[in-house]
Amino acid sequence: MLIRGRLLREDQASTVEVQGGKISRIDRGRPAAGALGDEALVIAPAFIDVQVNGVAGRNVNAANVTASEIAAIPSHLHGSGAAMFCPTVTTGSAEQMIRSLKAIAEACRDPKVAHAIPGVHVEGPYISAEDGPRGAHVLQYVRDPDWDEFRRFQEAAEGRVKILTLAPERAGAIPFISKVAASGVIVSLGHTAAEPMHIDAAVKAGARMSTHLGNGAHARLPRHPNYIWEQLSKDELWMGFIADGHHLPPAVVKCFVRAKGLDRSVLVSDAVALAGMPPGRYAGEAVFGLGDPREVDVSPEGKISLAGTPYLAGAGLLIHRCVENIPRFCGLPLSDAVRMASPNPARLLGIHDRAGSVEVGRSADLTLLRWDADRQTLKVEATLVQGEVVWSA
């Protein structure tokens, strides 16, 4: 297969040749008859979203979630230009979380699903119990870190847990972080009300990331010090953040990216099962699982919140909308926005030897984008996974 378009940061069009699911050749400037695409398209590495709770009615955390439902999620993400994602298992009973992890592991027995899931993100249950930092996580299931329980999580996932979000102020969190980090799992700080000393200790123990920084936080904070400034100041921490226009104001996104730098910034969608659904009020179980008594509102703009509260309940927009917003919010080129959604998460996850770049020998996971620089609008024209066109506009 031949693909025609411009590579990021390059002005002239190139032809990318794909064979055996990998990029076999890149010819800069040479036209190719019958190639997919055109000289106005941008050929980018497909996006990697490290925080996806669900989409299009598919809920990673549903009480009765099955492997087939997990396996259906990638096809709903391809339209956003994503080829890989980390299914995100959130705070619940040990039994429910293990059920979700087992469903993911079973789904990954299909090689195509395994390719789409480079790791699992476990968000909770070792998070703050306070309103605000806890976000939409269910209070009754929030608890202190438990190494034996985490080992059961990892066993259920068949070793696929790659990211664990926790609050470092919980009892026993610091020695727990040391053990988790030593096991090769990325410890991410999130849903936390930590004091600066907790964050400092967590980083020294091996924490490497901040989960959706600026969200899962109090509505009002001390001017300084506070746990947002403290995490921004730690060069050791990667920053995950949601640039959908609902979770963070544009000025905050711009300041966060400037403070953390391009090398450590990772865009995430935090999409939930109601992402892409029509606006209206839904039963909370659509997001949180069977029997949850809360209700959730979906706005016409895709904002998802707990009914009657200012608290967000996940995101209704997918990763390409976050990519689209970065040039608008930060004054950065599209190439930098893509960097935060593909090369950077690939490096974070340790899969940059096979994903996250358009290079000979890499897996042909590509997204073809049409970018209007004047209007700053982005359209995904096609997504390829291992050289196969899995979605086209």
Residue 107, CA distances (Å) to 56, 113, 179, 388 in order: 18, 6, 28, 20
d(CA 110, CA 152): 23
Question: Residue holding tokens 């990021």?
Answer: 8
Q: Do the annotations mark residue 137 as ligand-binding? A: no
Considering 244, 270, 336, 365, which one is annotated as catalytic?
270
314 is in an annotated binding site: yes
> How do 388-392 and 377-385 pair as beta strands?
antiparallel
Known active-site residue 270: yes
Give the tokens for residue 325. 């917003």
- Rounded-to-integer distance, Cα 75 and Cα 80, Å: 10
* Residue labelled with tokens 């970065």: 326
Residue by residue, what is the 3-state secondary structure of 160-181?
CEEEEEECCCCCCHHHHHHHHH
- Give the residue from 248, 297, 306 showing the smallest Cα distance to 277: 297
**Residue 321, annotated ligand binder?**
no
Q: Name the phi and psi angles at 266, rounded to 5.
A: -130, 120
Q: Is 247 marked as binding a ligand?
A: yes
The CA-based angle 315-317-322, given to 5 degrees, is: 105
Is 103 annotated as ligand-binding? no
Q: Say whether 191 counts as a known binding-site residue.
A: yes
Q: Is 46 annotated as a binding residue?
A: no
Alpha-carbon span 99 to 105, nearest angstrom:
10
Residue 285, annotated ligand binder? Answer: no
**159 annotated as belonging to a binding site for a ligand:** no
- Please, what is the angle between helix 319-330 and helix 250-260, to 10°? 80
Binding-site positions for substrate: 136, 215-216, 223, 247, 312-314
Binding-site positions: 123, 136, 191, 212, 215-216, 223, 247, 312-314
Residue numbers annotated as active site: 270
Binding-site positions for Zn(2+): 123, 191, 212
